[in-house]
Every structure is written in structure tokens, then in C-alpha cells.
Structure 1
Amino acid sequence: MFFTYLRRELRRRRKAALVVASGLALGIALVIVVTSVSSGMGKAQDKVLQSLYGLGTDMTVTKAASAPTGEQGSGPRFRFDARDSDSGSDAQEQSSDRVMVQGFETLASSTVAKVAAQDGVADAVGGLSLQVVRVSGAFTRGQLQQGEAPAQGGPGGGAAEGRIEGGGADFDVDNYSVYGTDVTEPALGPLTSSKITSGRTFRTSETNAKVAVVDSAYAKEKKYKVGSTVTVKSVEYEVIGVATADSGDAAADVYLPLKQAQTLAGSANKVTTIYVKAEDSQRIDAVKAAVRKSIAGTTVTTSADLADRVSGSLSTASSLAAGVGKWLSIVVLVAAFLVAGLLTSSAVSRRVREFGTLKALGWRSGRVTRQVMGEAVVNGLVGGALGIALGLAGAYAVTALSPTLQAELGGATSGPRMVGPGREAATKTLDVALTAPVSLTTIVMAVGLAVAGGLIAGTFGGWRASRLRPADALRRIA
């Protein structure tokens, strides 16, 4: 009887039911879109941070910045011999590499073990960030051009004069980054933010092997492939793999085993950055405080700290989605609930004769209330289905359009200060594509909102219906 009457009344009042369901649908759809976009913003920021930290890294430890010394402040020096080939026509190629520690600040390798021993630290690994500047080119000998002898008695006493034409130097400068990774700890460090798309990554036994993994963009520029040779300071390294960064921006152009990088830089048992994974994400702040207290002269940077340095359109859009967007969705949802409740209550007022007659026939107030609430819940579920469909369509449209947002990393600071694996604190812009992933949790939340909206509307209407008296119906009939 309950369902028969419910189906008949919903069919008879299709327009009113559709209005209530549509209002709830708009509110639910907006919540789904805003939640999905906010999730996409979070994923975009995670990609930016992963390009600096690497997957699984909760914080980094670097040496605290100090005022640069005279040696640090001066640029790299190159020395060449002014020679050319024996033929005197073809210039002889010369090159010189200068390998410098990025940031000029290093920590002892033993610091890695100290950090790993802190309470709450699951794992820690050190890495060495280097910058290589290669200058290559040749000197060309000038040619002596003989001139006519000057007149008798003139300067030079009648000797022939000449001048040197041509000659000079032609040199190219190649600047690229090298990162020394601890191959025994492959789960931490910036290389984990890249995917090996050709060849393989390092084996744990290759701690001092002359092998290298190169970033795909750098490999394309230099035409490197698996089996090619990368030469740094006259040392040849075989390319065993090509890595593609997930965020489109790699931490380094060339990755080498840590010991090899330390040898190239003359920084034995030194690291620039320690990557730390906490046992529990809820204890990151406590671990940060413990490391800073136990190991003096270090700077501990968490992913939250680094996220604060991300600016640009990504940061602005994320703030809007988290602030204005969420508040707007809440306001619209509350308004939709109130409108649904008022419309249901108003519909009950127009059904005084019907409900009064039912009470006169023996229906109790509770049965009338259940009938009104049942109709409202069905309206809410229909609105939820429409809202989920609209929300999924909106999220799909955002993902399909994939608008590009810019993330600016770092900022001007005094002195060399690290903000990631081998990156100095200079502003760097990354382009990140925005997506709007819809999770199962979001769908469940939408269904819950639909039921809640129906119950709220039913509560309004049921309260009005329970107060109706049979006498009211009899007066309407008369």
C-alpha cells in the first residue's frame, strides 16, 4: 500500500518532484566538481614537489646557508694553451670541464646515519648535486699579410711592413647538472620522480661503476641513447638508461653513482642533500624538530614548507578552489536543501484536503508523515542521480580541456640556499596540466547528500502534514 500510493503520487506530481530534484542536483553537482578540481590541484602540486624531492620523500636536510667566501663567490676558472695544429690552418680542439657542488654547501656522509637514527625516521639517503660547465673550442692562428716597403728615408728604413689578419678563439659553453645518487637506496631521492623509459636503472652493486642514467629531454638534446657515452672530466660513463620525469621537469640532466660524483667533484664522503622518509606522516613535524635539535647547522625542509614556496596560477587556483570554491558549494548546497524543504512543505499545504481525508479514513499522523518523507527521499535520490551525472560531466570536461597552470618555485634569497636536489633558490616556472579526478569517496558523499537533502525536505513536509486535522479537510470539502 505504501509503495503503491508513493508511486501514484510521484507520478501525479512530476513537475513539482522534478523542481525539487533539480535544485538538489545542482548543489550536488557543484560539490562534486569543486571536490574533484581541488583533488586535481593537490595532485598537480604533488607533481611539482616530486620533481624536487622524489616520491616517498617527506623532508630534506641540507647544510644551513652561510655567507659565501671569496673562493665561492668567484666563478670557475679555465686554462687553455694558445696552440693550434702543426699545419697552421686547422685549429686544434680543446676542452675543459669544471665540476662544482651546487650551492657550495656540503654535509659529511656520516650525517646520513645520524639522521636515520632519529626517532620517527623510516629511512634516509644522501645525494650530491653538481653543476658541470664545459668550455670547448679552439684557437686559430692569424696570418701575416706583407705590405709594400715605405719610401726611402721614411720610417723603418725601407724595410717591408705587414699586419696579422684573422685568427682568434671560438669556444662553446655547455652547462648541465649531475646528481650523484646512492644506488643502494633506490626508493628515495629525486630519481624516483622519473620513470625509466629506455634501458634500466642502477643496480645496487654499481656503487662505483662508470655508468649513467640521463634525463630524456637532455638525451634528446645531446642525441644520447642507451649504449652512448657521457664524458665528464675525461671520464667516460656508459648510458644504461633514459629517465622521463613525471612532472616534465627532471631534478638533473645526468645521474651517476654517488661515489663517482664525489670523485668528480673532489668531495669524498660529502653530500649536499639528505632525503628523509618518516615512519608516519602525522609525525613529520616532530621528526623535523628532532633533526634540527640533534644535528646543528642544518636546514630541514618538509613538503609543506616547499609547497608554501609554490606560487603562480597553480597556487592562485588552488587557493580559490580550497577557499571560495568550497564555501560557494556549501552555500549552494544549503540553499538547495532549504528550497527543497520549503517546496515540500508548500506542497503539503496544497494537499490539506487529501491528507485530512486520509486521516478521516483512519490514517495515523505517523503514517502520513512517513508517506511525505518517502516522497521527499525519492526526490532526493533522483536529484542525487542527476547531480552525480552533472558532476561527472563537469569533471570530465575539466580533464578533457586539461587547462595548463603555471607553478613558480623558489624565490630570491641571500646566499646559496637549496630548495631541492641541487636547485638553488631561483625562481623556476613549471607548466602543470590540471585534471579533475572523481574518487569513489566523492560519489558516496554525493549519495549521502542526496539522502540528506531528501530527509531534510521530508522533515519539513512531514511536520506540516502531522499537524493537519480531519476537520480541515471537511471544511475544504464543504
Structure 2
Amino acid sequence: MFGIYLKRELGRRKKAALVIALGLALGIALVITVNSVSAGMTQAQDKVLKSLYGLGTDMTVTKARTAPTSGSSGGPNFKFDAKSSSSSTQSSDRVQTQGGQALKSSLVTKVAGQKGVESAVGALSLNVTKVDGSFTQGKAKSSTSSSGSSGQGGPGGGSSSSGGAPQVQGGGANFNVNSYSVVGVDVAHQGLGPLSTMKVTSGKTFTTAQTGSKVAVVSKSYAKEKKYKVGSTFKISGTKFTVIGIATPDSSESDTDVFVPLKAAQTLGDAKNQVTTIYVKATDSKQISTVKKEITANISGTTVTTSADLASTVSGSLSTASSLATSVGKWLSIAVLAAAFLVAALLTSSAVSRRVREFGTLKALGWPSRNVTRQVVGESIVNGLIGGALGIALGVGAAYAVTAISPKLTAQLGNTGGGGGVGGGPGGGGPGRQASQNTLEIALSAPVSLTTIVLAVGLAVTGGLIAGAMGGWRASRMRPADALRSVS
């Protein structure tokens, strides 16, 4: 009886049911869209952080660089001799540790032994500035000039001839400056640290036997710039390295141009048994803040940077869009959803008012108030489910459109103060390169999860229940006499 009556009444009031369903559908569609875009923002931010940290890395340990001593700029220093031959070319490399004050390699073991730490690995970030070019020696030329005078110019009077001072003409210098980043990695633990964000697309990566070998893996962009390929060789401070692999970053861009074994990097940077960054993986990702406190308390003088710390430094359109999606979008969704629920409740209540004769007659025939209420609530829930289905279709369609368009967002990465290059990570590039490398471009997607769909169904049922409760309460208060008074 209930089902038959429900079907007949919904069929008779198609327009009213459709209006209620569409109102709920718009609110539910907006909630799905905002949730999906927010999830896309989170994924985009994870890509940015992954490009800095590496897969499985939860935090880094660094030490802030001390201020330069008095009379020292702390920058690279180049000394050249002006040789006599203009054809001679002079070249000099200056290798400096980059990103923060060097730490003892023994600290890696100490960090790995802290409570809550699963593994730790050290890396050494270097900046290499190469200056090469040549001097051109100028030539000294003397000029002479003679003039006659009446004798007032000197005690003897008469004419005099004087020779001009020699002047250097021509000469100068022409030098090129090239700055690039080098990171020394622990070849025995490549799954954690800077190289874990890279995928070797040509050649091969390091083996555990190449601890101190003069081999290198270069980024694809740097290899293209320098026209390197597998087997190419280049020199750093007179040491020849062979390219064994060319790597592409898993996401975003790479802040590192050249990867070499850690021991080779320590030799280049005159940093024996030293690292600049310690990468840490926690045993439980939910206890990262606790592990951070543990490391900070037991290893003084260091700065521990987590992904949450880095996330707070991300700015640009990614940060702006994320803020809109999580704050403005959330409150807009709540407002629209509340309005949809209210409209559905008012429309249902209004529909009940127009059915006074019907419900009054049913009560006169012996229907208890609970049956009338159940009838109204049942119709409202069906309207809500129809609205939910339409809302899910609209929301998924909107999310798919965002993913198909894939708008580009920029992420500018600030420094957390840990002294570790970009946001406390390694590398960071050299002078003149850091600003461009700190800006990453991310394609936005809007994935729809099963949780979002379940939320949409729950909202549809809730909307139906709210509307049904309001309409049912009004219907339950009707009396058979109301039906008789409505008869003309």
C-alpha cells in the first residue's frame, strides 16, 4: 500500500518533485566539486613537496649557516694572472657547500637511532661556479709633441721639444661564468633522499660499488643545456667525471643539475666526513611531529623541517587556489547546501498545505498520524535521492571538466629558515638561478573519491529527511475537520 501510494503521488506531482530534486542537486554538485578540487590541491602540493623531499622522506635535518667573519664576504674568490699571450685561456672552478652549515657524517647514525625514526641518510649539497676566459694584454704607446715658444716657458727662452707620457691602449678580459648545483648522494641508500625524486631515463644509476667513483648522473634539462649524453665527460676542479645516466624528475622540476657519489662530493667540497642535509623517514607518518621534537631535543643546533613546515612556505597561484577551495569554497558549499535544504523543506511544507483534503480524508478513513508522516517523509527521501543522483552526475561532470582542462598553477617555494636551499632541501641552485628554480608549475586535477560519493548520498538522504520532517510534522497536525472545511 505504501509503495503504490508513494509511486502514484510522485507521478502526480512531477514538477514539484523535480524542483525540490534540482535544488538539492545543485548544492550536492557544488560540494562534490569543491571537495574534488581540494583533493586536487592536496595532490598538487604533495607533488611540490615530493620534488623537494623525495619519496618516503618525512623530514630533513640541517644546520643554519653562520654569518661570515669580519672582512670575509663568504662568497667565491677568483685569482688570475694576466699572461702575456692573448691566446691563452684561463679557467677556475670554485666549489662551495650549499644550503647550510656542514654536519658531521656521524650525525646520520645518531639521527637514525632516535625513537620513531625508521631510516636516515645524508647528502652533501655543493655549488660549483666555473669562470673561464682570457685576458688580452694592452700595448703601451708614447706620443710626442713639439711646439715653438717665445722663451717665456723657461729660463733660457727659445724653443723646446717634450715627449708625452706612455699610454696603454687595447687589452681587457673576457670571461664566462657558469654556476650549477651538485649533490653527493649515498649510493647505498638511493631510495631516500634527493635522487629518489628522479627517474633514470637513459643509462643507469649508481651501484653500491661506486661509493667514491668519478661518475655522475645529470638531470635531463642540464644534459640538454650542456649537450651531455651517456658516456660524456666533464671536469670539476680538474677532476674528470663520466656521465653514466640522465635522469628526469618524477614531478615538477629538479633543483639539482648533477648527482655524484657522496665521497666524491666530499672530496670536491673539501668536506671530508661531512653532509649538509640528513633525510629522515619516520616509522609512523602520524607521529612526525613527535619525531621532530625528539630529534630537536637530542641533537642540539640543528633545524628539523617537516613537510608541514614546507607546505606553509608554498605561495603563488597554488596557495591562493588552495585557500579559496578550503575556505571560501567550503563556506560557499555550506551556504548553498543549507539554502537547498531550506528550500526543499519549504516546498515540501507548501505541498502538504495543498493536500489538506487528501490527508484529512485519509485520517477520516482511519489512517493514524504516523502513517501520514511516514508517507510525506518517504516522498521527501525519494526526492532527495533523485536530487542526489542528479547532484553526483553534475558534480562528477564538473570535476571531470577541471581535470580535462588541467589549469596550470604555479608554486613558489620559500625558505623555512633551516638553511637548506629551497625550503630546507638540498641544492637550490647557485647565484642567479635560485629564483627561477623556486617557481614550479603544476597541472591541477579534481579526483572524485568514493568518500565524496558517499558524502553526496548522505547529504541527499539528509536533505530528504529534513524536508520530510518539516512536511510530516505539518501533515500530522491536520484533522479530518480540515478536509471537510476545504470542500467547496
> How far has the Cα of 1:80 moved from its partner?
3.2
Pairing 1:475–2:485 present: yes
Post-superposition Cα deviations, 1:321-355, rounded to whole Å, max 9, x if no partner, equal 21121111112112211211221122112112122
Which residue of the partner structure matches residue 153 of structure 2? none
Take 1:211 and 1:437, find their aligned partners in 2: how far apart are those partners?
Answer: 41
Pairing 1:440–2:436 present: no
Percent identical pairs in the alignment equals 64
> How far has the Cα of 1:263 moved from its partner?
0.9
> How far has the Cα of 1:250 moved from its partner?
1.0
Aligned pairs for 1:235-246 (under 5 A) are: 235-246=239-250
> How far has the Cα of 1:153 moved from its partner?
7.3
Aligned 8 A contact 1:127 1:180 in 2: yes
Aligned 8 A contact 1:179 1:252 in 2: yes
Take 1:389 and 1:416, find their aligned partners in 2: how far apart are those partners?
Answer: 46
Which residue of the partner structure matches residue 151 of structure 2? none
SS of equivalent residue, structure 1 residue 430: strand
Out of 271-280 and 5-14, give the one that drifted further: 5-14
SS of equivalent residue, structure 2 residue 315: coil
Question: Please, which of 178, 181, 189 is the counterpart of residue 177 of structure 1?
Answer: 181
1:371 corresponds to which letter in structure 2?
A: Q
SS of equivalent residue, structure 2 residue 95: strand
Take 1:74 and 1:251, find their aligned partners in 2: how far apart are those partners?
Answer: 22
Which residue of the partner structure matches residue 374 of structure 1? 378
Which residue of the partner structure matches residue 453 of structure 1? 463
Post-superposition Cα deviations, 1:118-162, rounded to whole Å, max 9, x if no partner, equal 1011111111000000011123345677989989974469xxx99
Aligned 8 A contact 1:18 1:379 in 2: yes
Change (3 A) 1:180 1:74: same
Aligned 8 A contact 2:65 2:100 in 1: no
Aligned 8 A contact 1:126 1:182 in 2: yes
Aligned 8 A contact 1:127 1:273 in 2: yes
TM-score by length of 2: 0.88
Change (3 A) 1:118 1:364: same
> How far has the Cα of 1:96 moved from its partner?
1.3
Question: Please, which of 92, 99, 122 is the counterpart of residue 96 of structure 1?
Answer: 92
Change (3 A) 1:292 1:212: same
Aligned 8 A contact 1:145 1:164 in 2: yes
Change (3 A) 1:204 1:12: farther
Which residue of the partner structure matches residue 105 of structure 1? 101
SS of equivalent residue, structure 1 residue 423: coil
Take 2:246 and 2:72, find their aligned partners in 1: how far apart are those partners?
Answer: 33
Out of 232-241 and 71-80, give the one that drifted further: 71-80
Count how many residue pairs are aligned between Structure 1 and Structure 2: 471
Aligned 8 A contact 1:66 1:415 in 2: no
Which residue of the partner structure matches residue 115 of structure 1? 111
Pairing 1:6–2:6 present: yes
SS of equivalent residue, structure 1 residue 73: coil
Question: Please, which of 333, 345, 362 is the counterpart of residue 341 of structure 1?
Answer: 345
Change (3 A) 1:196 1:361: farther
Aligned 8 A contact 2:134 2:174 in 1: yes
> How far has the Cα of 1:64 moved from its partner?
3.6
Which residue of the partner structure matches residue 427 of structure 2? 422
Which residue of the partner structure matches residue 123 of structure 2? 127
Aligned 8 A contact 1:56 1:188 in 2: yes
> How far has the Cα of 1:261 moved from its partner?
0.7
Take 1:148 and 1:66, find their aligned partners in 2: how far apart are those partners?
Answer: 58
RMSD of aligned residue pairs (Cα, Å) = 2.9
Take 1:284 and 1:255, find their aligned partners in 2: how far apart are those partners?
Answer: 28
Pairing 1:140–2:144 present: no
SS of equivalent residue, structure 1 residue 473: helix
> How far has the Cα of 1:32 moved from its partner?
0.9
Out of 379-388 and 171-180, give the one that drifted further: 379-388
Aligned pairs for 1:281-296 (under 5 A) are: 281-296=285-300
Change (3 A) 1:440 1:191: same
Aligned pairs for 1:287-326 (under 5 A) are: 287-326=291-330
> How far has the Cα of 1:109 moved from its partner?
0.4
TM-score by length of 1: 0.90
Out of 360-369 and 439-448, give the one that drifted further: 360-369
Pairing 1:391–2:395 present: yes
Out of 182-191 and 61-70, give the one that drifted further: 61-70
Change (3 A) 1:214 1:94: same
Change (3 A) 1:437 1:230: farther
Take 1:63 and 1:144, find their aligned partners in 2: how far apart are those partners?
Answer: 53
Take 1:424 and 1:138, find their aligned partners in 2: how far apart are those partners?
Answer: 26
Take 2:56 and 2:418, find their aligned partners in 1: how far apart are those partners?
Answer: 30
Which residue of the partner structure matches residue 331 of structure 1? 335
Post-superposition Cα deviations, 1:252-282, rounded to whole Å, max 9, x if no partner, equal 1111111111111110110000111111122
Structure 2 unaligned blocks of 5 or more = 148-158
Post-superposition Cα deviations, 1:390-435, rounded to whole Å, max 9, x if no partner, equal 2122222323333333333225979888722133997633333322
Aligned 8 A contact 1:103 1:424 in 2: no
SS of equivalent residue, structure 2 residue 247: strand
> How far has the Cα of 1:29 moved from its partner?
0.9
Take 1:288 and 1:131, find their aligned partners in 2: how far apart are those partners?
Answer: 28
1:436 corresponds to which letter in structure 2?
A: A
> How far has the Cα of 1:285 moved from its partner?
1.3
Aligned pairs for 1:195-234 (under 5 A) are: 195-234=199-238
Aligned 8 A contact 2:341 2:467 in 1: yes
Aligned 8 A contact 1:190 1:251 in 2: no
Take 1:321 and 1:193, find their aligned partners in 2: how far apart are those partners?
Answer: 28
Structure 1 unaligned blocks of 5 or more = none
Which residue of the partner structure matches residue 32 of structure 1? 32
Take 2:235 and 2:458, find their aligned partners in 1: how far apart are those partners?
Answer: 62
Question: Please, which of 246, 254, 260 is the counterpart of residue 256 of structure 1?
Answer: 260
> How far has the Cα of 1:183 moved from its partner?
1.6
1:126 corresponds to which letter in structure 2?
A: G
Take 2:429 and 2:81, find their aligned partners in 1: how far apart are those partners?
Answer: 33
> How far has the Cα of 1:107 moved from its partner?
0.4
